[in-house]
Amino acid sequence: MDGSGYPLKQKNQELECKIIQVCDTADGILSGIEREQGTLEDALKELRNHKKYDSNVVKVFESKIAKYPVGTKMQIENGKEVIVVSQTEDSAQPEVIEVSDGDIHERRLIEKVIHIF
């Protein structure tokens, strides 16, 4: 390799391998392929608690992944049920809509999540 490519004009693939390792582990946990299926929190816990994963890559991964993906149904602190419709800069506070009796209400940011369905 001549170092002319992405990312950062590197001459080796060490960073790419670290990124793939983190993504592959998270995907394996979330999909249940080759291991017991788990949640996003399970995947993040595994990535944070093992020295074999580059901590800087894990931090970037964690900052970029949606904590509550679009379509997630949850109950918020006021007891209302909502559905995630888009992400914000803060992955813990996506934009949601309230759904009650089949009616959709205005979009807003979530308060505190109580339960995910």
**Cut 0.75: pTM above it:** no
Q: What is the pLDDT of residue 76?
A: 82
Q: What is the pLDDT of residue 1?
A: 44
Q: What is the pLDDT of residue 91?
A: 76
> What tens-digit pLDDT sequence spans the chain (117 residues)?
455 555 566 666 788 889 999 999 999 999 998 889 998 889 999 999 989 999 999 999 988 888 888 888 888 888 888 888 888 887 778 888 887 766 667 666 666 666 566
Q: What is the rounded distance in angstroms from the CA atom of residue 16 to the CA atom of residue 8?
A: 11
CA separation, residue 101 to residues 47, 74, 105 (Å): 40, 15, 11
Q: What is the pLDDT of residue 5?
A: 52
Q: Could you tell me the residue ranges of all domains in the chain?
A: 14-64, 73-116
Q: What is the pLDDT of residue 63?
A: 85
Q: Is the peptide bond before 69 cis (omega within 30 degrees of 0)?
A: no
